[in-house]
Structure 1
Amino acid sequence: MKKSILFILAMAAFLGCQSNKSEQTTSTANSDFATVVDDYYEQRLKLFPLEATQQGDNRYNDQLPNDISQAFLNETKTFYSNTLDKLKGFDREKLSDEDKISYDILKREMELQLEQYPFHQEEMPFNQFTGNTLGFGQLGSGESAQPFKTVKDYDDWLKRVSAFAVWGDTAIGTFRQGVATGRVLPKSLVVKMIPQMTDLVVSDPTKSLFYGPINKLPATFSAADKERLTTAYKKAITEQIVPTYRKLGTFLKDEYLPKARTTSGIDAIPQGSELYTYLVRTWTTTNDTPEQIHQIGLKEVARIRGEMEKVKTQVGFKGTLNEFFTHLKTDKKFYPYKKPKDVLDAFNSILAKIEPNLKKYFTTTPKSKFEVRQTEKFREASASAEYNQASADGSRPGIFYVPIPDATKFNITSGMESLFLHEAIPGHHYQISLQQENTSLPKFRRFAWYGAYGEGWALYCESLGKELGLYTDPYQYMGALGDEMHRAIRLVVDTGIHTQHMTREQAIKYMMDNEPIAEQGAVAEIERYMAIPGQALSYKIGALKIRELRSKYEQQLGDKFSLAAFHDEFLKDGCMPLDVLERKMDAWAEKQK
C-alpha cells in the first residue's frame, strides 16, 4: 500500500513536472510568436509608410515608397518569404487560441502575397479609382490623414513631394512595360484618368489643392517658419507636383490611350484568367470559383426582384418593375434637396433615429468620434460614398464622405438609410474603430483589412434596418433593396466581365435593368469593377456568410442566442478571412451551450 502511494506521488510529481515543462514550452512558443508578429507589423510599416500615416503613426510621414519599382517588389517578396519561413518554425498546436487565429491569418496572407508576383500588376500602376495619383491629392490637401500641425509635419510633406515626382516617372516606365507585354488598361478607364491629372495642373500655386495646408498655417508658427514654408510649398507645387501631373496627363493622352485595349475583362491580358481567379480568392477569402459566384449572383438577383415587386405593389404603382425604376429616378418629389447641407443634415438625422435601438443589439461600441462630410471637390465627380477610418489614437474622427456634386440631383430613394448603416454606423465605423481600439490584438490585426469580412459586415448591417427602426418608409426600403440588389448584380457582372466576355455596355445594361440606378452611376460602378477585378465580390459573399452563421446559431442555441452577444463576438477580434472567422464563431457558439 505504501509503495502504491509513493508510486502515485512520484508519478504525480513527474506529470506535474511534465505539465510545467509543457506550459513553459507553450509560454515560450507564445512569447516567440508574439515577437514574430510584432516584427512583421513593424517591418510592414517601414515598407508601406502610407499605411502608418492612415493609422495615425507619424514616424514615416516623410516617406513615399516607389512601390511599383522592381527594387521595391524584390524587397517585399523577400519580406513575405522570410515571414512565412519564421511562421513555419512554430508548432501551431502549441500556441494559444488567440495566437492560432493570428497564425492562420498571417500564414494565409503570406502565401497569397507570394502568389502575386508573376502577374506583374505593377504594369498597370494606377487607374481612376486607385493609386498614388489620387491618394496623394487627398493627403496633400490637408484634409486627410497627413497631419499639418507642427513645422516638422509641414517639412515631412515636402519630402513626400520629392518622392512623388520619382514615383510618377516610374509609373510612366511601368505603363510602357505593360504596353510591351500586353498588360494594358481598357480605353474607357484611361479616358477618365486624363482629366484627373490635368485638373491638378495650375499656373498659380496658390490655386492648387496642395496649397491647402499653407492656407491653414497654425498661428503658433514663427513668422520665419511661415515665410519659409510658404515659399517652399509654392516651389514644390510649381516645380514638382504640377510637372508630375502634367507629364502623367500628357503621357496618358498622347502615348497610352491609343494603345489601351477595347476589351473590358482582365482575362484579355496575359495570364488574365489566372490573375482573376487569384483576385477572387484574395477578395472573397474563399475558394469559390468565379462560376459558382456567378450562379449565386443570378439566384440573389431573382430573389431580390421578387421583394421589389412587393414594394411596387405596396405603394400602388401600376406599371412594370422597370417603369417603377424610371419613376423612382425621375419623379421630382424624390429630389427635395437644394444645397449640400440639406443632404448632410438628412444623413445626420438617420443617426438620431437609430441611436435608441443600437443599445439593444450592440453591447460594445467605439470610443472614436464620427462625422459626415461632403467629398472634396477635386475627386467628387468620380467618387462613391465612402468611409475613412478614424486614427487609432482618436485624434482624427471616422469620416463618412458623401459626394454631392449637385444637391438638387440627390435622390432620396437611392438608399440613404441603408448607405448610412453600411458606410457609417453600425457598419464600417463600428467595425474598424472597435478593431483599432482593441489594444490586446497584435498590431498587424488591429489594422488589418479583409474585404469579405469588413465589407461583408457593412452589407450585413444594411439588413438590420428594420431592427434598428429604419425602412418604415417603403421608398427607403426600396432603396435598401436597391443597395442589396446592387451587391447581387456585382456577383453577376464582375464574374461576367472578367470570365465570360461580358462587355462594359452589356454590364451597364444588366445593372440598369435590375436596379433603379442612373446611367452615370451604372457607368462609374461597372468601370470600377473593370479597374479593380474581384473587389466587388467581397461584399455579398461576406454578408451571406455572416447571415448564414447567425441563422445557424439562432437554430442551435434557441433561447440562449443573443444577437448583441453574436455581434460583439463577431467584432471583437477584428478582420479575418471567412474560414478563420467560422472556426472562431463555432467555438463561441459551443461555449454558449
Structure 2
Amino acid sequence: MISKPALLLLLASVAIAPQAATAAFAGDCDCASSNAADTPSAADKAFEKLSNDEYEWRKTQLPIGEDSPNGNQFLLPDVSRAAQAKRLQYWEDTADTLTHLDTERLSPANLVNLEVYKAQIDTLIAAQKFRDYEKPLNSDSSFWGDLVGYARESIRTEEEAERYIAMLNGIPAHFADQIANMRIGLERGFTPPKITLVGRDSAVRSVVEAKSPTDVAYYAPFKELPSSIPADRAKALQAEAEAAIRDKVLPAYRTLLAFLNDEYFPGARDGLAAYGLPDGKAYYRSKIREFVTLDLTPEAIHQTGLDEIARLRQRMDAVMKEVKFEGDLPAFLTFLRTDPQFYAKTPQELLNRAAWIAKTFDAKADDYFGRMPRRRFAIKPVPDDIAPFYTGGRGGPGIYLVNTYNLPARPLYSLVALTLHESAPGHAMQMPLAGENTTLPAFRRDTYISAYGEGWALYSEALGEEMGMYETPWDIFGMLSYQAWRASRLVVDTGVHAFGWSREQAQQYLRDNTALAEHEIVTEVDRYIAWPGQALSYYLGELHIIAARKRAEEALGPKFDLRAFHDAVLELGSVPLPVIDQRIDRLIREGGKGPYSEAVAP
C-alpha cells in the first residue's frame, strides 16, 4: 500500500491560536469529578476543540494522496516557504499547549486520543524541521503523480467541475513553488539518490507529449459529465477544461520536465544512505519513530530482521521437502521465478484470479471478524503511466489495484498473500472500518499510521494460513516469501541507510531470501533507498500485533476469542503501536469481550 503518510502532507496557515487554549487546559475543573460519567471536563472540552479545529483545518489543506482524508477533492496546497514556516510555528505552538494539559482531568477515551494526537503533531513538527517538503518525491511517488490521481475521480456536480478547472489553472504556481523547494533541497544535498530517479520523468513526459489537451489524463473526468449538468453548461465546462490544460497545465509540465532533466536528476546525490543526508543520523532516527512509532535503534532492527529470516528459512525448507524439490533454496527460487505454470498469460487472468481470492475470503470472514465495513472495493489494474515503477498491488478504501505490467514478475503463488494484504482483511477493509467508526475523532478515522496499517495488512497475510486461504504448498511458500520479503526490509533498510550497504548488496539479499521476481527486486530496493524508514513499518507492526495476540491468548485461556481480538484491534482507527497494547490490556481486563459481539459469557 501505501505510501505517503497523510500526516506528512502539507498545510498552509493557522486556523486557531493554540496559545489561547493553554489556560483552558491548565484551568480549574468545575465538575465534581474530573472523569464523571458522561460529563466532559474543562480539559476534555479544550482538548477536543483544539484537536478537532486543528484537524478540520489540516484536512482542508491536504493534497490528494493514497492516505489522505476523504472530502478534499481538487485541492492544491500552498507549499511556499512562507507557508512552511507558518506550519512549523503553528504545530510547535500546538505541542506547547498540549504540555499544559492536566491529564488527570481527561476522560479515559481522551487519554488515548491525546496519545494518538500528540504523535501526529510530533511527526508533523519533525517533517517541517527536517524540511521534507524540499524532497516531494521518491522512486515510486511524486507530487505530480499524486496530483494526476484526480483524473481518476468522477465529477458529480457543476461545482465540482468548476473546482477541478480552478485546480488545473493553479498548477503553474503550485509547480513553481515545488520546483523552488526542490532547488533548495538540491543545493544542500537533500534529494533522493540519483540512481532511484532513472526514468521517473515518464509520467511528466506522457503529459507533455500528448497529441491534444483532450488526450491528457487530466481531461478524463470531462469526457462524460453527469446528466444533471445542462448540456450547454457541460459543453462550456469541457471547453474551459481543455483551455486550462492547453494554456496552464502543458506549459507547467514542460517547465517541470526541463527542470528534472536539466537540473534535478543530474544534480541529485550519488550516495544512498540516509546517514549521508544533512543531519542524517538524526533524520533516519526520526523516520524510524515516524513509521514504526517506537524509538528503536538501527542495530536492534537489523538484528530482528536477521533472526526472523533465519526462522522463515526453516519453514521454506519444509515446503521444499513437501513438494519433493531436489536442490537448494537458490535453485528452488530460480524454478519459481521461471516456470510458466506460476504466471498468468493475460492481464485479465491475473485480475480474475485476484477477484476469486477476494471472494473466497468473503466466505470465511464471519468466522474471524465480528464487524465488516459497509464499503465494498473494486479490483482494477494499476494505471499504465505508473505501472513500471509501481509495486505489485496497492489497496485502500474502495480499491484494490493489481499491477498487470510485466506479467512474468507477478507470480500467482504470491497472489493470495497480496490480495489478503491489499484488499480484505487488509487495507481495503481496515481503512473503511476506521472511517466508519464514528465513535472516534476524525483525526483517528482518517489518518494513516504505517506501523499500524501495514502491520495489520501483513498480519492479514499470515492469518490467511489459519483461515485456509492457501490451498497449495506453492501458495504457502508465496506467503512465506512475502513474510521473508518484509523481514528482509529490516535488514536492507538499515543496511543501506545506517551501515553503508550498496544497491547491489541490497538486491542480492532479496534474491537470496525471497521468491520475488527480478523486476520487483529492483523496484523494491529503489523504493527503500529513496524512502528511508518506511519499509520498517510492515514487519515490526506485524510482530507487535502477533505479540499482543499471544499475550491475550495466554491471559484469557479458554475465554480468548479471535473475533473479539480482531475487532478490538480494528476499532482503534490508525494508532501508534503502544495504543494497541493498551487496548488489548483492556480486552483482557474485560474478560475477552469484543466491541461488536458477545464473544464471552459474563
The TM-score normalised by the length of structure 2 is 0.89
Q: Secondary structure at the match of 2:200?
A: helix
* Equivalent of 1:301 in 306, 309, 319: 309
Distance in 2 between residues matched to 1:46 and 1:351, nearest whole Å: 34
Deviations 1:407-466 (A, max 9, x none): 4664212x1111111111111122111110011111111112111111101101111112
- Is 1:360 aligned to residue 374 of structure 2? no
| 8 Å contact from structure 2 (residues 34, 104) kept in 1 | no
| 8 Å contact from structure 2 (residues 568, 584) kept in 1 | yes
* Equivalent of 1:106 in 104, 112, 117: 117
* Equivalent of 2:162 in 155, 162, 179: 155
The alpha-carbon deviation at position 484 of structure 1 amounts to 0.3
Aligned to 1:37: 51
* Equivalent of 2:183 in 158, 176, 183: 176
Aligned to 2:75: 63
Distance in 2 between residues matched to 1:248 and 1:45, nearest whole Å: 27
Corresponding letter in the other structure for 2:148: G
- Is 1:521 aligned to residue 535 of structure 2? no
Aligned to 1:9: none
The alpha-carbon deviation at position 18 of structure 1 amounts to 8.3
Aligned to 2:136: 125
1:54–1:577 distance in 2 versus 1, CA, 3 Å:
closer
The alpha-carbon deviation at position 54 of structure 1 amounts to 5.0
Pair member with larger Rg: 1
The alpha-carbon deviation at position 572 of structure 1 amounts to 1.0
Distance in 2 between residues matched to 1:518 and 1:31, nearest whole Å: 54
Aligned to 1:23: 36
Aligned to 2:25: none
State which drifts further: 128-137 or 489-498.
128-137
* Equivalent of 1:96 in 107, 115, 139: 107
- Is 1:474 aligned to residue 443 of structure 2? no
Distance in 2 between residues matched to 1:286 and 1:188, nearest whole Å: 30
Aligned to 2:6: none
Alignment of 1:184-333 (within 5 A): 184-201=191-208, 202-333=210-341
Q: Secondary structure at the match of 2:455?
A: helix
The alpha-carbon deviation at position 29 of structure 1 amounts to 2.9
Distance in 2 between residues matched to 1:482 and 1:52, nearest whole Å: 26
Task: Give the number of aligned pairs.
Answer: 561
Q: Secondary structure at the match of 1:79?
A: helix
| 8 Å contact from structure 2 (residues 470, 476) kept in 1 | yes
1:354–1:240 distance in 2 versus 1, CA, 3 Å:
same
| 8 Å contact from structure 1 (residues 64, 163) kept in 2 | yes
Distance in 2 between residues matched to 1:555 and 1:275, nearest whole Å: 39
| 8 Å contact from structure 2 (residues 421, 427) kept in 1 | yes
Distance in 2 between residues matched to 1:359 and 1:114, nearest whole Å: 42
Deviations 1:54-106 (A, max 9, x none): 54425xx3531133x21121121133123223333431122111110001111
Runs of 5+ consecutive residues of structure 2 not aligned to the other structure: 1-29, 593-602
- Is 1:530 aligned to residue 529 of structure 2? yes
**Which structure features the higher share of helix residues?**
1
Deviations 1:111-135 (A, max 9, x none): 3322333322222222342332101
1:434–1:419 distance in 2 versus 1, CA, 3 Å:
same
Distance in 1 between residues matched to 2:177 and 2:298, nearest whole Å: 33
Deviations 1:485-507 (A, max 9, x none): 11001000001110111111111
CA RMSD of aligned residues (A): 2.1
Q: Secondary structure at the match of 1:536?
A: helix
| 8 Å contact from structure 1 (residues 266, 533) kept in 2 | yes
Runs of 5+ consecutive residues of structure 1 not aligned to the other structure: 1-16, 391-397
The alpha-carbon deviation at position 580 of structure 1 amounts to 2.2
Alignment of 1:71-82 (within 5 A): 71-82=82-93
Distance in 2 between residues matched to 1:64 and 1:126, nearest whole Å: 16
Distance in 2 between residues matched to 1:137 and 1:63, nearest whole Å: 12
Q: Secondary structure at the match of 2:244?
A: helix
| 8 Å contact from structure 2 (residues 377, 399) kept in 1 | yes
1:352–1:113 distance in 2 versus 1, CA, 3 Å:
closer
Give % identity.
33
Distance in 1 between residues matched to 2:564 and 2:78, nearest whole Å: 44
Q: Secondary structure at the match of 2:400?
A: strand
Distance in 2 between residues matched to 1:587 and 1:441, nearest whole Å: 17
Corresponding letter in the other structure for 2:36: E
| 8 Å contact from structure 2 (residues 68, 447) kept in 1 | no
| 8 Å contact from structure 2 (residues 302, 495) kept in 1 | yes
Q: Secondary structure at the match of 1:248?
A: helix
The TM-score normalised by the length of structure 1 is 0.90
Corresponding letter in the other structure for 1:460: Y
Aligned to 2:23: none
| 8 Å contact from structure 2 (residues 396, 423) kept in 1 | no
Q: Secondary structure at the match of 1:210?
A: helix
Distance in 2 between residues matched to 1:462 and 1:191, nearest whole Å: 32
Distance in 1 between residues matched to 2:363 and 2:61, nearest whole Å: 44
1:424–1:18 distance in 2 versus 1, CA, 3 Å:
closer
Corresponding letter in the other structure for 1:498: H
Deviations 1:309-354 (A, max 9, x none): 111111111011011000001111112x333222111111112322
Q: Secondary structure at the match of 1:307?
A: helix
| 8 Å contact from structure 1 (residues 185, 261) kept in 2 | yes
Distance in 2 between residues matched to 1:55 and 1:270, nearest whole Å: 31
| 8 Å contact from structure 1 (residues 128, 192) kept in 2 | no
Corresponding letter in the other structure for 1:587: R
Distance in 1 between residues matched to 2:67 and 2:505, nearest whole Å: 40
The alpha-carbon deviation at position 20 of structure 1 amounts to 5.9
Corresponding letter in the other structure for 1:578: L
The alpha-carbon deviation at position 283 of structure 1 amounts to 0.4
